[in-house]
Structure 1
Amino acid sequence: MSIKVVIADDDIMVREGMKIILSLDEEIEVVGTCSNGDEAFKFCQGNSVDVILMDIRMPICDGVLGTRKICEAFPKIKVLILTTFNDDEYIVEALKNGASGYLLKNILPEEVIKAVKIVNEGNMLIHPSIAEKVPYLLKRGDKKDFSKYNLQEVEIEIMKLISEGYSNKEISEKVFLSQGTVKNKITDILSKLNLRDRTQIAIFYLKDGK
């Protein structure tokens, strides 16, 4: 089954360019293009969508608000922020609102295709030039103590590894547990912290951890 992708960007050249790039991969199907976040949200209401490539700076409804609306209403849809702007505050807000990743538009076409597949599998992906800033940006403000949340040490370690982008298979190898056990631990973490998915786990760890 193909990965159903929507491209949301106010620049028609970007939309069409990304559509051509993604259509080169037989595992990806571009099912729609939109000019702002609200159009993307409305498209999701009547269509099956797996991943949205979302520009940040758009008129009417920008990518940050669009991401929030879509992630709240359709938690299974992954949003991958794509922009030319290396803007710290936008990065933080998009991730807090549920974005699964953040890339700059100057990356190679094959990297866009790879990124779509990575976030579709439920992993978090952030452009290398941005990744090193994110923990610092998310940690600003008051920090919470993990002891308040009744988390096991192994659960905290799993959260850390999720925040670093490791898959369940890789995590299982690092913590010496089966993939099934790791999956169960992640389910327990989501329940204890009242979170929706592994992206929110990563954000929680980076923002609230010591």
Structure 2
Amino acid sequence: MIANTSFPLKILIIGTVTDKSLPFLYGLFRRPVSVFEYAEILFGLFGNNFFKVVEHFPPDEVNDQRPLLARLFTQWTFTCSSRLFARKAPIAYTHVFTYPPITNGASNSSVFQGHVCHGDELYFLFEALRANLTAAGRRLSSNFANYWTNYAKSQDLNQPIQVPLIWPRFHNDVMKYLCFQDPIETMDNYFKDDCDFCDKIGY
């Protein structure tokens, strides 16, 4: 389905966070997932591609496979599908948010502490926790909001408000992402190996 998507004459701004699927997986599986259960889940989801997926995402040598499942689902359903969308847009900007919030809205904060889960970047975008953030967090929050404010004002992420780093356009030959951390930096080919694999098995 995604393979047939196109964005004629549209600017696409798309991104993800590092652990987007983590709360979904822990909400769905309330207890540890064994290696056998991990295999069952993958077989049910991927069918004929089961052995390829197990080879690329082999079970961890721990009793609980939920962190691995969260990584797999984050890459397959969010990170790599986002890359595919960006490739199909005539103009695209991509980002990854890697800075964890001090306060996480998830029900089990001990599990998610130090992770950046679904929606956590919104605290920074809307400056909702500004009073509780460190100086680095407030700086990141302001800069993150400024990029989006720029686009609303001028359809250019990098002006008129000064930003710390030019947000580069995404190109298929060198896939550049803006990484929202402290300090903000660019990165190339985010999870390229995983995403090349996901492209092959499909979404």
TM-score (norm 1): 0.29
Which of the pair has the greater relative contact order for Cα pairs under 8 Å at 6+ separation?
A: 2
Higher gyration radius (CA): 2
Higher helix share: 1
TM-score (norm 2): 0.29
